[in-house]
Amino acid sequence: MSLLRKPCGTLGLNIPWVKSPDTAEYSEIPLNVSENAESGTIVGVLRQHLPFLKSGDDLRYQIYNLGTVADSTRHSIISSQSANESDFIFQIDPITSTITVLDSSSLDRENLCPFASGTEKECSLNYGVAVSRSDKTATPLTPEQSWIKVKILINDVNDCAPRFNNDSSDICKVIDLPEDTAVGTKVPLPDAIDLDGSQNGQLIYHLNCENEQTNHPFALHQTRKLGISREESPETSQIRLQLRYPLDYEGQKSYNCTLGVCDNGTPMHCSTMPLCISVHDVNDNAPVFQNENTSFVLSEDTPVGTRVTKLNATDADSGAFGSIRFALVGDLPDSMSSQRHFRLDPNTGEIFLTSPLQGGTKFNFWVEARDRGEPESRMSRSTISIYVIDVNNHAPKISVLPASSKIRYGSRQTVKSVLSKVSKVSCNFAGVKAIKDCDNADKVASLIQVFEDNIAPSNIAFIQVTDADVGENAQIDCQLHVRPEIAFGESIKLVPGHQISSSKIVYKLVLETMLDCEIHSRDRYTSICNSGWIIPVKIECRDFGTPVKKSYHNIFIEIIDNNEFSPVFEKEVYRAEIKESASLGSNVVQISVTDEDSVVQGVSPNKRINFKYLSSQQVQQKLRFELDSKEDLPFAVDSLSGRIYVSDKLDAENKTEYNFKVSF
């Protein structure tokens, strides 16, 4: 028989077996020895166990190997006279019946009883001892006395360390877990095997992670107290890695841990296996803006193309899950259109100005940061509030509007409408020099035409002033300037009217004195209305901004002669003499008509394009003369010139005097 010594956990057994003698019943002697006992260790002395052996000095002993308990039907003879004694585990002294350890290296419980490795099962070797007498003349032994069964129990010694079912304890066991793995999930780990038996084979697992990972989210879940045997299926696991807290890829991407296992023997043996736990990212985080609400101001003169701000957002995820795109997604109800004025770079988050701004406007809009997760992305929103501060870059704008004021006068409280006409003219209208030559950019002045004899005071025009700025920059104050030498210039006043809005005000241009073309013409020995009575004034408006912006507007006020007088003949009676021999067409008399008014009558100034000033002769030329008589006259009148001439042959013998009327 040869029992070959192998390392712990490696099985190698080579035993030649022979059948034991046929006996009905045998005595059995139990013995025990610890595995790995030194060679020469006494296992037992048979004479001390059976009385009949004590007196038999002539007895001789031979030992047969009957195998382990699991295979007791086979056996082989083992004796001290074997040719290969070094291969045998035990030997028996043929005279003293002492059984001793022959080969300590072969006394390995794990190799001898692989079925009992890592379990509570008993490991024993069965032997048969043949007893015979050396004295052939002595009384022969009975069959029961000549065959003795010996059972040697191999006591386990904690000589094997646990080992994992992997190729090398230095190779890291890789475990991949998505970060959304449910708490409580159990992941199988490689099993450890300890070939020792009983208490020495009981395994205790522990998990250690690196120092900075003491709060790791893992625990061990052990389903058995004892190690498993090598006959069990490798899928049957007694140890699992259990998730006790949620994973967070962003907080910890990997864990370097060590799975340790120790047996329960003395001295204790331990083994370790490194665990490399990788956490895989999932799209569980939405982008986060650095500021949930961003507010700032812009000057209205900010150039188009200026980068006005940059959005900052982060996403704790990685890869596409953490890649962010920005977008403008809509305006709040009280906002100007952000899409018309701003552009948002989707990749950088930079916002650029795309069109000019207007002071005093507000923009309130949503921006969105969205990751590129598939199939579903995550997003968050932030509000942007922009207030555009006004820059005093607009001068007041002056507009002159015609007035139609209702004025009550007299005891009957009659309502009279003061009509005026406003038109655009050049800065040097009718040769009258403006107070300040062409101050406004369009080189245009305003002409206000009103009739004389308006009841004073009268509104002759409205001055509307606007400013495109806001706030103090749009507050307006206007003044009227009249040159001292201008006749009746002091009669023109500028009176504040209605404040329509913060940037629009209406002034009234008031004529405080009643003017009469005829009276003032006599005072000045000239017909001022006839020659164009024009009062030049200037409106100056300024705002309250810094720097102050000013505007000027020249106004010509033209006083128009009203049709208050009828034409009259220079003479009430015209007398003339003419010879009866006067030829046809001869002049008889020239009719002359005068009119203190000097304008074409019958046409109101608000219904015609231009007023024309006429002399008395010109007025007469506009009349139509006719003769008024019931008899046939030898005279006729030029309807345009008023010249009366001979139109038929005269006969003094027939009639010497004619009386008739001339009308127009």
Q: How many CA atoms lie within 13 A of 386 on its CB side?
A: 26
pLDDT for the residue 185: 95
Q: Is the pLDDT higher at 486 or at 243?
A: 243
* Statement: residue 7 has pLDDT above 80: no
Percent of the chain residues topping a pLDDT of 90? 28
**Mean pLDDT across 418-434:** 69
In the chain, the amino acid numbered 165 is N
pLDDT by residue (tens digit) across 182-204? 999 999 998 888 888 777 878 88
* Statement: residue 576 has pLDDT above 50: yes
State the DSSP string of 247-308. Answer: --TTT-SEEEEEEEEEESSSS--EEEEEEEEEEEP-S----EES-SEEEEEEETTPPTT-EE
Buried b (16+ CB within 10 A) or exposed e, 143-152: eebbbbbbbb
For residues 269 and 159, what is the distance between their CA atoms, to the nearest angstrom?
8
Q: Is 287 exposed, middle or buried (0-12, 13-18, 19+ CB in 10 A)?
A: buried
For residues 489 and 492, what is the distance between their CA atoms, to the nearest angstrom?
6
Q: How many CA atoms lie within 13 A of 68 on its CB side?
A: 18
Grouping H, G, I as helix, E, B as strand and the rest as coil, residue 111 is helix
414 pLDDT tier (thresholds 50, 70, 90): very low
Of 56-65, 211-220, 464-473, the poorest mean pLDDT is in: 211-220
Task: State the alpha helices, DSSP H only, in 422-576.
Answer: 517-524
* Statement: residue 73 has pLDDT above 70: no
For residues 646 and 648, what is the distance between their CA atoms, to the nearest angstrom?
6
Of 268-272, 568-572, 576-580, the poorest mean pLDDT is in: 568-572
Grouping H, G, I as helix, E, B as strand and the rest as coil, residue 79 is coil
Tokens representing residue 107 in the block:
């006394």
pLDDT for the residue 393: 80
**Mean pLDDT across 216-240:** 64
* Statement: residue 473 has pLDDT above 70: yes
Buried b (16+ CB within 10 A) or exposed e, 471-507: bebbbbebebebeeebebbebbebeeeeeeeebebbb
pLDDT by residue (tens digit) across 517-538? 766 554 443 344 555 578 888 9
pLDDT by residue (tens digit) across 287-321? 999 999 999 999 989 999 999 999 999 998 888 89
Sheet bearing 458-466, strands edge to edge: 397-402, 458-466, 504-511, 492-501
478 pLDDT tier (thresholds 50, 70, 90): very high
**Mean pLDDT across 231-251:** 74
Helix or strand holding residue 417 (H, E): strand 414-426
365 pLDDT tier (thresholds 50, 70, 90): very high
pLDDT for the residue 520: 57
pTM metric for this prediction: 0.50
Which residues does residue 67 pair with via DSSP β-bridges, in sequence order? 126
CB 335 within 8 A of CB 350: no
Indicate the average pLDDT of the chain: 79
Q: In terms of DSSP bridges, do strands 186-188 and 239-243 run parallel, antiparallel, or are they unpaired?
A: antiparallel
**Mean pLDDT across 22-32:** 68
Q: In terms of DSSP bridges, do strands 90-92 and 550-560 run parallel, antiparallel, or are they unpaired?
A: unpaired
pLDDT for the residue 241: 94
pLDDT for the residue 16: 35
For residues 450 and 430, what is the distance between their CA atoms, to the nearest angstrom?
16
Domains of the chain: 27-155 (2.60.40.60), 163-280 (2.60.40.60), 288-389 (2.60.40.60), 397-560 (2.60.40.60), 564-664 (2.60.40.60)
Of 19-33, 381-395, 552-566, the poorest mean pLDDT is in: 19-33
464 pLDDT tier (thresholds 50, 70, 90): very high
Q: How many residues does the chain have?
A: 664
**Mean pLDDT across 107-116:** 81
